[in-house]
Amino acid sequence: MVNATLCMASAGCAWHLLPKCFPPVSTVRRYFCAWRDAGLFEVMNTVLIMSLREIEGREASPSADVTDSQSVARLSVLASTARTLR
């Protein structure tokens, strides 16, 4: 199932184009949706990033955040838009 999911992610193609060497599309899709809904992909990404940081000799979790002025400006625009929509 993992290989079929990776194949779909790397190819970026439609489900029905999944190669025949993998289980049926309905089965792969069901597993993918269950894993996505359970947040498994986010957990895997976090663990991989933390492991890579440790391999590079850095702290597993970053201790600082970088925010640029455009991000701050966009957040203020979004906040004011949200207030006017209420």
Q: Is residue 72 part of a domain?
A: no
Residue 41 in domain: yes
- CA Rg, the chain, in Å? 20
CA pair distance 52, 54, nearest whole angstrom: 5
pLDDT at position 81: 62
Residue 45 CA to chain centroid, in angstroms?
7
User: What is the domain extent for residue 31?
Assistant: 2-61
- Quick: pLDDT tens for 32-86: 999 999 999 999 999 999 999 999 988 888 776 666 666 666 666 666 666 666 5
Whether residue 32 is contained in a domain is answered as yes
Per-residue confidence (pLDDT) for residue 55, from 0 to 100 = 92
Model pTM score: 0.61
What is the model's pLDDT at position 36? 92
Domain count along the chain: 1
CA distances 67 to 52, 59, 73, Å, are: 23, 20, 11
Residue 14 has pLDDT above 60, yes or no: yes
